[in-house]
Structure 1
Amino acid sequence: MTDAATRVARIREALAQAFAPEALEIKDDSHRHAGHAGAKDGRGHFKVRIVSAHFEGMSALQKHRAVYAALGDLMETDIHALQIDAKAPDHA
């Protein structure tokens, strides 16, 4: 597994464990940020689309905080930037 594939797998595992999502898409956009000052440390840029009942009744800020919490150390070791689209099933 490549480094990028390993990162995506680790992100997928953390989010699946925390939220038991109905849908989960993760896109590695790191290649689009090559040479970007913030990416020089080797961490990646990712987009996440997640649908989970866990997000029911949460504000956008609460959803983002929950995703960041679920990713834990990955936010410091593997992820430089994260675009999040988190929704409850009835809002997907």
Structure 2
Amino acid sequence: MTKLNAIENALQALQPEHLQVLDESHMHSRGQETHYKAVIVSPHFAGLNSVKRHQKAYAAMGELMQQIHALALHTYTPEEWQQQGVAPASPVCAGGHK
């Protein structure tokens, strides 16, 4: 199982209505399977600020977080996602490029 698949499986604990996990390692210089972006739409985020939402995602990831360098999280309630419908683009890597 790839890390991407493992991340997707772990985040299923949040019962997402929409889940997209992207391997963005190619945008960085730390090697393969190191940088990921996750867009998570879950009713479990209702009433929570972004810090608490991220904590829920980190908790779902558990020990898997030790195996990756970076995880960009974009967390939405279903209502927020219905209004927004798209996560922001990832920035260009600011450090470590060769």
Same fold (TM over 0.5): yes
Task: Give the TM-score, by structure 1 length.
Answer: 0.81
Is 1:24 matched up with 2:19? yes
Is residue 2:58 matched to residue 1:58?
no
Q: Which residue of 2 aligns with 1:84?
A: 73
Q: Flag the structure with higher helix content.
A: 1
Q: How many residues align?
A: 81
RMSD value, Cα: 1.5
Distance 1:43 1:23 in 2: 22
Query: 2:34, 2:64 → 1: CA distance?
Result: 10
1:49 matched residue in structure 2: 39
Instruction: Provide the C-alpha distance between the structure 1 equivalents of 2:65 and 2:43, rounded to a whole number of angstroms.
Output: 23
Q: Which has the higher strand share?
A: 1
Normalization by structure 2: what TM-score?
0.76
Runs of 4+, deviation exceeding 2 Å: none
Q: Distance in 1 between matches of 2:63 and 2:33?
A: 12
